[in-house]
Structure 1
Amino acid sequence: MFNSINTEKEESNIRLFDSYQDFLAADPVPELEEAPESGEEKEDEAESWGALFNMEYQRKIQQAEDLLNAAREEAEVIRGEAFEKGEKEGYDAGYEAGRQQAYDDYMATYDKELNSLKQEIVTLVQDMGNKKDKVLEKYIDDLKDISLAVAEKIIHTSLKSSSEIIKRMIISSTEKLKKTSWVKIYIGKEEPGINIQGDAELIHELSKLSENVKIVVMEEESGTCIVELPNEIIDVSAGTQLENIRGILENARL
């Protein structure tokens, strides 16, 4: 918009016009005394001012419309970005919350099933232990007798087939004894083909115990082995050892 200016020095007034018609209806610019103008000149000047005002008015209108359109476009961009950001943040937050919830639910189910399985295993082991104890209590005596019978059978069979058993029994019972003045060893009758008295290894081992060693063969059953020393008698016979084992089994709780 343009201003109408009074050129008189004693006062300065500014007038605003909202349209070209208001501008035309306003009082004409006072004539200057020094240069009086004709009617045509006044009319030409008014038209010139009107054209300039209209041009400036249209330019301002266009500028306002351009600013408004730019503001609308910028607002639309901001709105779109805000929507996308909010949508993404909402999606991410929802996804993380859903994932965490699913994980928590799975772990709760897993822990519950694991605890249940542990309890089942504990119960099963306890049941098996109880059943085993009942079976052992029921058949313990029979198991002891069977074990001893098998051991006795193996020993007697071994004694009949080799003199090594008796020899090892004698060496085992005397190897830790202190040297003494004499030793007598009583053994049961030997099976045909077995001659323990002539065993060089046995004689060599017994010579470490005493220089006076005597082996006596009795009419006792095979497997008998008694070591007599000046101050003690040691019975390592197979039958004696089996009785010791039987006593241990009788007192043992399986």
Structure 2
Amino acid sequence: MSTWIDKMHSSTLSEPSPALLQALQGAVCMAQDRGYVMQIGNPLTPPPTNTKVFFRKLPAHFDVTDKLGQEVIRFEFWDVPFNKLPGETGRLVAKRVRRTARHTGVATARVRLVLLVPHSTRQQERLERRALKSLGAKVEVFLHQFFVRVNQPHHLPRCELLRNQAMLQRFQDRYGSAANLPKISSEDFVCRYLGAVPGDILLSTAAFGEMRSWRLVVPPLRSHDIYTEELEQRVRQQRNSTAAFMTYLRTITEDPDHY
């Protein structure tokens, strides 16, 4: 386990709530698995070495950067539901992004905000994302419960994002377009954990002698994309046509004098 986690566990001070502690542990692991840089630097706030001090005042946060240092990622921890964050509904996240950009000294378009809350809904998240379009920033929302699974070693994803474009090009030259790969939804646990977006390629990390599998990340299907009356009618028509065709095949096969 990482040195950050070891330091947190070695603290002799009283610990915060189990949910917040799991969220912090999972967030640090996730940042490491995504390849984020955790070096201490001004004005960035590094991951904590003492949980009591870290959670002395909420919201608590720590900052990391991407490998190229072009994006600042702030992990911000709350003990209230998403819709209880301070500010006007529809502008909650935009307010947090502007504050992060101001404190870290970067443009809002270079900020990725990762919010960790006890509860949220997809509708609330979509409403907040609309306000971010003009800022160019990115946001991810995770529930504390999400990291219960992360903190169980056998549930950690055995995948990585394919960042080697030369490898992808060789794959396409040999096997064809990446669109032919098996698909995985961007809402899948592994994709959310690794920060994969539609168009990315997931590569399994196989043990010695095992084959590695490739999967293309695609947008999630929404309920209105699946259960529309028009689509149900098309499905019924297709089934009826298929049944009629199969009946015709059986007839001409079993009765050579059909005509």
TM-score interval, smaller chain: under 0.3
**Structure-2-length-normalised TM-score:** 0.20
Greater strand content: 2
Where is the helix percentage greater, Structure 1 or Structure 2?
Answer: 1
